[in-house]
Each structure stands twice: as structure tokens, then as C-alpha cells.
Amino acid sequence: MLEIQRIRKAPEAIIEGLKKRGIDATETVNTLIELDAKRRSIRHDLEEKQHQSNELAKEIGILYKSGRGDEANALKAQTAGLKEAIKELNEQVQAVADSEHELLLTLPNVPHESVKAGKDEKDNEEVSREGEIPSLDEHAQPHWELAEKYNLINFELGVKITGAGFPVYVNQGARLQRAMINFFLDENRAAGYTEYQPPHFVNAASGYGTGQLPDKEGQMYEMPVDGLYAIPTAEVPITNIFRDEIVNANDFPIKSTAYTPCFRREAGSYGKDVRGLNRLHQFDKVEIVTIDHPNNSYDRLDEMVAHVAGLLRKLELPFRVLRLCGGDAGFTSALTYDFEVYSAAQERWLEVSSVSNFETFQANRLKLRFKDEEGKSQLCHTLNGSAMALPRVLAALLENHQQADGIRIPEALVSYTGFNKIS
RNA sequence: GGAAAGGUGGCAGAGUGGUAAUGCAGCAGCCUGCUAAGCUGUGGUCGCGAUAGCGUCCCCUGGGUUCGAGUCCCAGUCUUUCCGCCA
């Protein structure tokens, strides 16, 4: 959620920035400014009346104490009108604040200056590319065939137990999953991230805190009896650790990592892209979350990007980094870098990680702040990224490292898997 | 699931109708041969204001009673303890 103060201060900059997303926010911004002015003016009146009322109550108290009940009763008569006015103003201010808030929620984050205007993924900019795309022979198979051939993943079994999109990993497939989780967590920990094991269900307040609610409600699995939601990413429980907190500026940067399964309904996505591991209802992911001072958040973003690149390098996967254009970036993001690994057998790029700086957009809803040098509360910047999402890494691993007699496990993973080849 | 007790500032902890004691911690300043010291100041929020300052709201949440609510009433919620069930 954008800060109303920021809109009030520089409405033109907001409107200009949002144009990169292909949004004309002129009307919304103008309405917001009107509502904001109205709210503050009513509030001013309200506070004045409340002040009068407080003063009167105080006087009445003093009069009673000194035994001058008659005078007190005379004053009491004056309070009736004030009370009425306060009640009414209160309702007015609430109504204006509600519509202001509602409107504010419709505005996405303003893109960073480096973000190009654009409509969709075709307008994303490639900022770097690394690793060699293997030239596979004609017998090269996509991962869903490899998974079956080597009995790594059983999709049908998942359908029997639960439903489509809930695969069962078996044997070396299961061990590889466990190995990757440990590998990623160890790497993240070595890079200074504190490891967490958070709940896999969250309450509604946490859903609102990170912005899954109210807009993406249909994307989460929900347990209405208990009012809980299955997490779509570890970002939700991890970031909400810091909800309503005033963190110590000396602790910056606050770096956290967690492995969790992720649950997504993926309502409305069908077709080719859902084949195999490309789109699942339950998958494993190791997430990194960073909280930092506004002055340092972009340095931190670069660090996180470098860290994720290091992971892919160790997995010996060819990848490219994209800076998402305005139209393709997420609602809450100011700047997002996507990592895509080339899937040789599918002959296309697969998104394996996404690293974003949300600036204050998330912190504003979370009320996540720190005390600046002057002792004033200021919103933190939050960033997060996947490091990494397992299914597509697994897919790329299987496809890119396939050989005639099996699948080669990259060096860095061998001590985790306990085997260097899938056969 | 049953019963009881209880949610007060970063923490501890008073306050049963008159507008949030006190201690500790943190921060800022001052002082200093009593040195694991002393003194002073310092909660959050939003609004007005250039600063100083002024005001509003905040004692789990939402309602209610009252001139006035941390305190009384109603509803909800969470925590703790005991019992039951249980990996």
C-alpha cells in the first residue's frame, strides 16, 4: 500500500511512475487527495470538539469535588450538544477514511526509475546471461518423461491420494528434493540469513500484512472453520514475523531464510505450461527475506541477485537475469529481477527465482518501522526472493544434466544427495 | 472438549469512576575519585505548525452506561493453569 503522505506530497510523480505499468492513475490520485484533505479537515473539527468536551468534563469533576453541584449540573447541559456533534463527526471521518483506504489499496507500487515501461513479459530487459546451454542429442527428454523413466516422481499417485498438482516424489527423486532444500538453506545461512521454520498456516491478519488478502484470496487454500490459510510462500509467515514491529536500526540488514512447502490453488491456469513440474498446487521453496534501511535497499537487492546467481552457478545451470518491465512486475514490487534457467529439452526459459524490492509498500501495511537518527519512526524497506523454488530447478537439473546412461548430479549437491548420478 | 484465572508502555508492575504510580532497560544530555555510581530528560499515534509547541486518540478488540471509563455492563478474542483426549 502506498503511503498517503507520499501521494499528497508528489502526486505527479506517482501518476508518472504508474504509467510504466500502463495505468492511468490520474483520477484515483486526485480523488485520494480530495478524500485525504476532507478527512483531515473533519478530523480537525472533531478533535476541537473532543478537546472542549474533555475540558468540560474536567471542570465538572472539580466542581463536584468542591461541592458545587449546581454549577456542575449547569455545565452538564452544555455537553449534550458536543456529544452529538462528536458522534456525527466520528462517523463522517470513518466513512471518508474507509473509502480513502479502499482506493489506496487499488494502487500498485510505483516502479523504480530503472524500470522500463512495458506491457508484459515481452518487454522485460535481459540484464545478464551466464552458463552454457547444453546441446542435447535428439533423444533428449523433457523432465516429466525423465521423472517417469527413472521413477523419481509419480504424478498419478499424487492424483490418487490428493489430486492433480500434488506429485509424489520417490526414491532418488525424494532424496534429491531433501538434498536441494538442505543445500539452499546451508548456502543462505552461510550468506548471513537467519534460518526459520515457520508455521505453514497463517491467520487473516498475516494475509493482509503481506497483501495476499483481500485481492488474492482465491489463490490460497483456506480453512474457514479455523480462519486459517495455507501459505502460498514462506514470504508470508517470515515477513509477518516483523508485523507491527519497530526494529532496531543497528540490526540492519535483517536477513531471514526459511524452507516451506507452498500451496497455491492456481485457479484459472490450464494448458501446456502446467505440464510436469511447471505448475503445481504444492511445491517446495526456500525463501530469503531482507529488511533494511531505505538508503541501502537497492545495494541489498544487488546482493540478493548475486547470491541467487551463485546458487545457479553451483548447480551448473545456464541462466539469465531479467529486469521486469512495469507491466509484468508484481503489484507490490518496485523492482523485480527474474531468474530464468534454460530448459534444453523443453527449449524454453523457466522462471526459477524472482527477487524484488518492495521499498515501503509492504512495510506500510505491516507497520514495520525503525527509529531514524532523529528518533522518528520510519518505514523499513522489505525485499524478498526465492533461493530457490525446487520444482523448476529440478526440471532444469534433470533436463540439462541428462546423459545417455543417467542424470549427472552437480558437484555441489553430491554431498547432500549421497549419489552423483541418477540411473 | 470442560473449568478457572488473566491481558496496562521494550520488560516488570501499581492503579475498582475524576483523566495512566513506580522500578529496570534503552536513548540523549549533565556531573563525577563513593565507579557494577549519581542527576536530568525521554511512550506510541494522527492532526495543526518552520521550530518550539498545541491538540486528538491509545491500558487485548468491538459495542454500551456516564459530564467523565484502565476501572462498571455486554459480546468477542488471545494467553496461562488444571482436567479430558492425544502424535
Domains (ranges, CATH) in chain A?
Answer: 4-104 (1.10.287.40), 121-422 (3.30.930.10)
Torsions phi, psi of A331, nearest 5?
-55, -40
Share of chain A above pLDDT 70, in %: 98
Q: What per-residue string of b and e applies to A321-355 under the rule 16 or more CB within 10 Å gives b?
A: bbbbbbbbbeebbbbbbbbbbbbbbbeebbebbbb
pLDDT tier, A133 (very low <50, low <70, confident <90, very high otherwise)? confident
**CA of A349 vs C1' of B46, distance in Å?**
49
**CA of A277 vs C1' of B1, distance in Å?**
43
| Chain B bases closer than 7 A to any CB of the protein | 18-19, 27, 44-48, 55-57, 67-68
Tell me what pLDDT residue A63 has.
Answer: 81
Q: Are the beta carbons of A371 and A246 closer than 8 angstroms?
A: yes
Give the nucleotide nearest to A54 (CA→C1'): B68
Tell me what pLDDT residue A356 has.
Answer: 96
Residues 342-381 of A with CB under 7 A from strand B: 369, 375, 377
3-state secondary structure of A335: strand
**CA of A322 vs C1' of B77, distance in Å?**
46
Tell me what pLDDT residue A195 has.
Answer: 93
The runs of H, that is alpha helices, within A138-242 are 143-149, 155-161, 171-190, 204-210, 235-240
Preceding omega of A253 cis (within 30 degrees of 0): yes
**CA of A47 vs C1' of B57, distance in Å?**
9
Q: pLDDT of A175-231, one tens digit each?
A: 999 999 999 999 999 999 999 998 898 888 888 888 887 777 788 888 877 778 899
**CA of A373 vs C1' of B42, distance in Å?**
15
3-state secondary structure of A222: strand
Cell output for A48: 476541537
Q: Are the beta carbons of A382 and A355 closer than 8 angstroms?
A: no
**CA of A373 vs C1' of B50, distance in Å?**
20
Torsions phi, psi of A78, nearest 5?
-70, -25
**CA of A312 vs C1' of B81, distance in Å?**
52
Residues 79-108 of A with CB under 7 A from strand B: 79, 83
Share of chain A above pLDDT 90, in %: 45
Tell me what pLDDT residue A270 has.
Answer: 59
Q: State how beta strands A194-196 and A254-263 pair.
A: parallel
Taken as a whole, chain A contains a residue count of 423
Q: Are the beta carbons of A188 and A195 closer than 8 angstroms?
A: yes
CA distance A291 to A252: 7
Region for A38 from its dihedrals, namely left if φ exceeds 0, alpha if ψ lies in -120 to 50, beta otherwise: alpha
Residues 6+ apart with CB under 8 A from A16: none
Pick the most confident of A92-96, A249-253, A307-311, A361-365.
A307-311
Tell me what pLDDT residue A274 has.
Answer: 62
DSSP letter assigned to residue A344: T
Q: Are the beta carbons of A184 and A387 closer than 8 angstroms?
A: yes
Residues facing residue A194 across a β-bridge: A256
pLDDT tier, A273 (very low <50, low <70, confident <90, very high otherwise)? low
Confidence check: pLDDT of A272 > 80? no
Give the nucleotide nearest to A78 (CA→C1'): B67
Tell me what pLDDT residue A268 has.
Answer: 60
| Entry pTM | 0.89
Virtual torsion, Cα A128, A192, A391, A230, nearest 10 deg: -130
Tell me what pLDDT residue A78 has.
Answer: 80
- Tell me the ipTM for this assembly: 0.81
Give the nucleotide nearest to A82 (CA→C1'): B67
Cell output for A143: 523432465
Whether any strand B atom is under 7 angstroms from the Cβ of A51: the reply reads yes
Confidence check: pLDDT of A416 > 60? yes
Tell me what pLDDT residue A376 has.
Answer: 76
Q: pLDDT of A47-78, one tens digit each?
A: 888 888 888 888 888 887 777 777 777 778 88
Pick the most confident of A53-57, A81-85, A116-120, A312-316.
A312-316
pLDDT tier, A317 (very low <50, low <70, confident <90, very high otherwise)? very high
Confidence check: pLDDT of A137 > 80? no
Of the two residues A353 and A251, the one the predictor is more confident about is A353
For CA atoms A298, A300, A303, A304, the dihedral sign is negative
